[in-house]
Amino acid sequence: MEVMEAIEARYSVRKYSSRKLDAASIEQIMEAGRLAPTASNQQLNKHIVVTDPELIRQMVDACEGQKWIETAPAILVECASGDRTMICGQSARSMDGAIAMSYMTLEAVSLGMQFCWLGWFDPEKVKKLLNIPEDYVVIAVAPIGYPETPGHRSSKKPTEEVVVYNRM
């Protein structure tokens, strides 16, 4: 699947089928994260794949009770150490993590899976549950798997509302 096809095929899924992810697919998704760019090529992020059903169940509490995440066969958790603010004012590690998570999830879509990006989680609870060291930031959480039923992406603003050429 071409990159644009994966972008067009993506939509947030909140109910997954019981189909597990095979090891080769997980490795391919991780490879997409490994090759993602990072600020100064520091590569301080870790891509955690949670597949243990008991841990997934406990992630519900860490994700503010979003019970539907239990249906996912895996949950990706993106975290990183050594956060710093770049000259542009943005967190280097948040940026690195968002890019890696985007690469991984789009690769997953290219393999027929879907995901849902979560910002509604308690980073301290996630850290405790997954043994993530204190000096790490937890950037994003994404349940991932095969959708229970086909869905569709939410509507998006038209091009002219979001694209600017030259000055705003």
Among 18, 131, 154, 166, contact with ligand FMN (rule: CB under 6 A): 154
Decide whether 3 or 22 has the Cβ nearer to ligand FMN.
3
- Residue number, 120 or 165, with CB nearest to ligand FMN: 120
Is 128 or 153 the residue whose CB approaches ligand FMN more closely? 153
Q: Would you count residue 126 as binding ligand FMN (CB under 6 A)?
A: no
N-term to C-term CA, the chain: 34
Q: Is residue 116 part of the contact set for ligand FMN (CB under 6 A)?
A: yes
One DSSP character per residue, 59-124 reads HHHHTTT-GGGGG-SEEEEEEEES--B-TTSSBHHHHHHHHHHHHHHHHHHHTT-EE--B--S-HH
Number of residues that bind ligand FMN (CB under 6 A): 11
Q: Is residue 21 involved in binding ligand FMN (CB under 6 A)?
A: no
Stretch that binds ligand FMN, among 53-61, 82-90, 112-120, 131-139 (CB under 6 A): 112-120
Residue from 11, 61, 95, 125 in contact with ligand FMN (CB under 6 A): 11
Query: For the residues of 8-66, what is the DSSP string, one character each?
Result: HH--B-S-B-SPPPPHHHHHHHHHHHHTS--GGG---EEEEEE--HHHHHHHHHHTTT-
- Name the residues that contact ligand FMN, by CB under 6 A: 11-12, 14, 66, 116-120, 153-154
